[in-house]
Structure 1
Amino acid sequence: MVSRFDQQKTKHQLFHVSLSLATILICMTYMQYRRNWAYLGNFWDSLVVPIVFIGELLKVVLARFYGRIEDGVLTVKQRQKKAAYFTARELAGGFTLQFLCTLLYAFSCIIFGAPVLGNYEETFVLSLLMTLLTVSPTVFLLGGGGALQVCFCEKPDFVTKCEDTALNLFKYNALGGILGAWAGSVVAPLDWGRDWQVYPIPNIIGALLGSAMGNIYACTHVLYATARVYMTKKRA
């Protein structure tokens, strides 16, 4: 039996991964251009957070572009429920959810060894970056209420196939970012005397590289599935 090949889904996945990797590449190029990485933890002097924000927003726009036709398959009740998740109240709820997640990441940074009585700005920048890599894309896509349901492992019933694809890709991005930020903290206590070992530089770089690795894994998975379908059709 020949597996069904969803060309639109595959294109969406590959463009999504390409946007993710392009965002990380731009961040790394910018960091190399600045050379002095000590500014990475400064909110006003670093462009890493705005670059990541724009990249995540573009991925949501991409999901909207591919899902514009699928909205027609939703029932009237599902459309009303989806529209209700983008009211002013829900948008405020989405902002609150991201703010609380930023506080949670800041608390986690302190638990894992970040200075308690100093480096407030650095901890805030790292926490904000982690929120952008994990929670914000889902909030941008589904609104505050929909994102909250996803956080509790429950997808809203109005999620289309295209949005479900985007959510799965967001998962790789989030897991890679979290594991990368955690792995980056390993080099901080080592007695190498390098300037890039200063908190939160290794954590920010680790989060970006981890996110890139998560997206590379997703891309490999998509290409493998595509090649498998192609070979199955060729044998048939």
Structure 2
Amino acid sequence: MAAKFDQQKTKHQLFHLSISLGTVIVCMTYMQFQGNWATVGSLWSSFIVPIVFIGEVSKVLLARYYSRNDDISITPKQRQKRASYFTVKEICGGLLLQCLCTVLYAFICIILGAPVLQNYEQTFVLAILLTLQTVSPTVFLLGGSGAMQVCFCEKPDTITKSEDNALGLFKYNAVGGILGAWAGSVVAPLDWDRDWQTYPIPNVVGALLGCALGNIYVCSRILYATAKVYLNRKRN
């Protein structure tokens, strides 16, 4: 008997991963052709943060698009509770949560070796990037309260199948970004005297490449599972 295959879920996953990888490619291409790597850590002279922001919002909109067919399975009470996630109070709560996460990431960066009395802007940019890769997508998708529930490993009871699918993909994006940013610190103390070793360039590039590797891993699993289903159906 052929394995059950959810075509809509697979399409959603592949489009989601395409946006993630496309965002990383655009960022890397931008840094390569900009010519001045020193501006990577600048909030106003670099477009890395806006590019990543647009990419994450695009993935949330994609999840919204696919979840429109799931809304019929939600009860009126669940629909009302779900709508409350996007009131002014919840939006402010979501912004506050992201600000707190940015401060937390900045503090962790300093604890792990970032300059304390200088490079404030660079640390802030790296913290914003990590927030966009980890917390922001969930806030954009589920609102402040929903994101808080997810942070405490509890899924909201109003979540749709497509939103649950997106949350699973966000997890790999977040883990890859954090591990990549941490791994990027390895090259900083090496005596290579390269321009790209300047903080926070290795960490920003590491966060982007870590995100890409996480998404490539998920993509390979999805393609393997899809090919397995296809071969089973062909044999049958």
Q: Please say whether Structure 1 and Structure 2 have the same fold, judged by a TM-score greater than 0.5.
A: yes
Distance in 2 (alpha carbons) for counterparts of 1:217 and 1:25: 16
Which residue of 1 is the match for residue 29 of structure 2? 29
In 2, the alpha carbon distance for the partners of 1:2 and 1:77 equals: 37
The normalised TM-score by structure 1 is 0.99
| d(CA) in 1 for partners of 2:122, 2:109 | 10
Correspondence list, 1:157-168, <5 A = 157-168=157-168
Q: Report the alpha carbon displacement of residue 12 of structure 1 after superposing the two structures with TM.
A: 0.4
Look up the match of 2:120. 120
Number of the residue aligned with 1:233: 233
- Give the deviation of 1:32 after TM superposition: 0.7
Question: Which residue of structure 1 aligns with residue 10 of structure 2?
Answer: 10
Aligned to 2:52, the other structure's residue is in SS state helix
Q: Residue in 1 aligned with 2:218? A: 218
Aligned to 1:74: 74
SS of residue in 2 equivalent to 1:18: helix
Deviation at 1:2, TM superposition (A): 1.9
Task: Give the Cα–Cα distance (whole angstroms) in 1 for the partners of residues 232 and 74 of structure 2.
Answer: 33
State the shift of 1:232 in Å: 1.5
- Counterparts of 1:27-176 in structure 2, within 5 Å, are 27-176=27-176
Specify the code of the residue in structure 2 equivalent to 1:96.
Answer: L
Question: Whole-Å Cα distance in 2 between the matches of residues 32 and 191 of structure 1?
Answer: 23
Q: Displacement, 1:69?
A: 1.2
* Equivalence for 1:196: 196
Structure 2 spans left out of the alignment, 5+ residues = none
Paired with 2:196 and 2:30, the residues of 1 have a C-alpha distance of 15
1:155 maps to a residue whose letter is K
In the alignment, which residue of structure 2 is the partner of 1:177?
177
Give the drift of 1:40. 0.6
Normalized against structure 2, the TM-score is what?
0.99
Q: How many residues align?
A: 236
Q: 1:87-135, CA deviations, whole angstroms, 9 ceiling, x for partnerless residues?
A: 0000000000000000000000001000111110000000000000000
- Identical aligned pairs, as a percentage? 70
Distance in structure 1 (CA, Å) of the matches to 2:140 and 2:221 = 25
How far residue 9 of structure 1 moved from its aligned partner, in angstroms, is 0.5
